[in-house]
Amino acid sequence: MFIIHASSIAASIVTTLIAIALVLSFAMLGSHWLKNHILAFAGESWVIAILSGAVAYYGNYKELYLIAILTALFRGTILPLLLMRLARRLDIEREFTPLFRPASGMVVGGLLIVVAFAVSNSLGTKLGVTNKIALVALTAMFGLKLIGFLLMIVRSEAISHILGLLVIENGIFLGSQILVPGLPFLLELVILFDLLIIVMTFGLLVRYLKTHAGTTSSQQLQKLVG
């Protein structure tokens, strides 16, 4: 199993990459410019692609090389380009209605990472896994999930919600590459394509929102209540 048999150099590379992915999610929390969000997401996806490559190399999982290439292509390139185009079409450069200031958002994000670490530590102990890589991967998986939810809660623009969801997906993908690199290959492939379809669907619906509802902000989408 990769998390148990990884060499110290592999462990260092993987841990560093996870740390970079987490820092990039904080960049998303700390900025209100949509372009920065999308670039940070693209960066995070490339980091995950490199991570897949590293696990493939050190863990000898050949099919992960293909996953790494597809991750860089889909998550790291096509999805950010689609989102950039969507932001341009909607003429939105910045999230104008944040509930938190950037600094407060980052503090809450930090607290969520602490919670994620506590949960991961407790889970690791129960499973008898005291390995550093497993602990860091679990923390990143739960942490990115929580940060993704935080992004969706504190931001009101539809495109920010899509980005929040993508951060959540990135977290699961990152965690599963390290914890279960042997996850059926077909499943990983289908999830990648599924993500592309869902982002395209989101894009289409956001444009419908703009055309038919006149807004893409959840603060103004308040017609349906009760």
User: Minimum CB separation from another protein for residue 161, in Å?
Assistant: 5
Query: Which positions from 85 to 124 touch another protein by CB under 8 A, shown as an x/- string?
Result: --------------------------------------x-
Taking the alpha carbons at both ends of the chain, their separation in whole angstroms is: 51
Region binding another protein by CB under 8 A among candidate stretches 17-25, 42-50, 72-80, 212-220: 212-220
**C-alpha to C-alpha distance for 28 and 39, rounded to whole angstroms:** 9
Amino acid in position 132: K
Q: Are 43 and 23 in contact (CB under 8 A)?
A: no
User: Minimum CB separation from another protein for residue 138, in Å?
Assistant: 9
Spatial neighbors of 126 by CB under 8 A, at least 6 apart, are none
Dihedral, CA atoms, 84, 89, 90, 96, nearest 10 degrees? 40
Report if residue 7 touches another protein, rule: CB under 8 A. Answer: no
Nearer to another protein, 103 or 182 (CB): 182
Applying the rule CB under 8 A, the residues between 120 and 179 that interact with another protein are: 123, 126-128, 141, 145, 148-149, 152, 158, 161, 164-165, 168-169, 172, 175-176, 179
Selection from 21, 78, 73 nearest residue 47 by Cα:
21
The residues that touch another protein, with contacts defined as CB under 8 A, are 1-2, 123, 126-128, 141, 145, 148-149, 152, 158, 161, 164-165, 168-169, 172, 175-176, 179-184, 186-187, 190-191, 194, 197-198, 201-202, 205-206, 208-209, 212-214, 221, 223-224, 226
